A = this chain, B = another copy of it.
Amino acid sequence: MPRPSEFDLIRDYFTRGFPQADDVLLGIGDDCSLVNPPLDMELAQSIDTQVAGVHFPANAPAHLIAARALRCAVSDLAAIGAVPQGFHLALTLPESDPSFLAEFARGLRQTAHELEMPLLGGDTTRGSVLTVTVAVQGWLPQGLGLRRTGAVAGQDIWLSGKIGAAALILDEVLKTPDRDDAATAPYYHPQVHVSFGHVLLSLATSAIDISDGLLQDARHIARASGVNLEFDANAIPTSVPREHPQWTQCLTGGDDYQLLFTAPKDAEDRILACAQTINLDHCTRVGKVIAATESDSGNITVIANGTPLNFDREGYEHF
Contact = CB atoms under 8 A, between A and B. Distances in A.
Interface of A: 3-7, 9, 25-26, 29-37, 39, 41-51, 53-55, 76-77, 79-80, 82, 88-90, 92, 95-96, 120-129, 131, 133, 135, 140, 142, 145-149, 207-209, 220, 224, 317-319
A200 to B, nearest CB: 12
B5 A54 contact: no
Nearest to A86: B45
Nearest to A147: B30
Contacts of A26: 145, 147
A112 to B, nearest CB: 16
Contact of A29 (B33, B140, B142, B224): B224
User: How many copies are assembled?
Assistant: 2
Nearest to A138: B32
Contact of A37 (B9, B41, B48, B55): B41
A217 B197 CA distance: 43
A88 B88 CA distance: 12
The 9 closest A-B pairs by CB, nearest first: A51-B127, A6-B318, A96-B319, A31-B79, A37-B37, A32-B44, A47-B88, A35-B43, A31-B76
A96 B319 CA distance: 6
A133 B82 CA distance: 23
Contacts of A125: 49-51, 54-55, 318
A42 B55 contact: no
10 contacts: A30-B147, A31-B148, A34-B42, A34-B80, A34-B145, A36-B43, A48-B90, A50-B125, A90-B135, A126-B319
Contacts of A145: 25-26, 32, 34
Nearest to A207: B31
B47 A90 contact: yes
Contacts of A45: 32-35, 88, 120-121
Contact of A9 (B6, B7, B131, B319): B319
Nearest to A136: B32
Contact of A121 (B31, B47, B128, B318): B47
A191 B161 CA distance: 50
A149 B29 CA distance: 10
Contacts of A133: 47, 49, 90, 123, 133
B77 A32 contact: yes
A209 to B, nearest CB: 6
A264 B76 CA distance: 46
Contact of A33 (B44, B50, B120, B128): B44
Nearest to A35: B43
B46 A32 contact: yes
Contacts of A89: 47
A5 B319 contact: yes
Contacts of A76: 31-32
Nearest to A3: B319
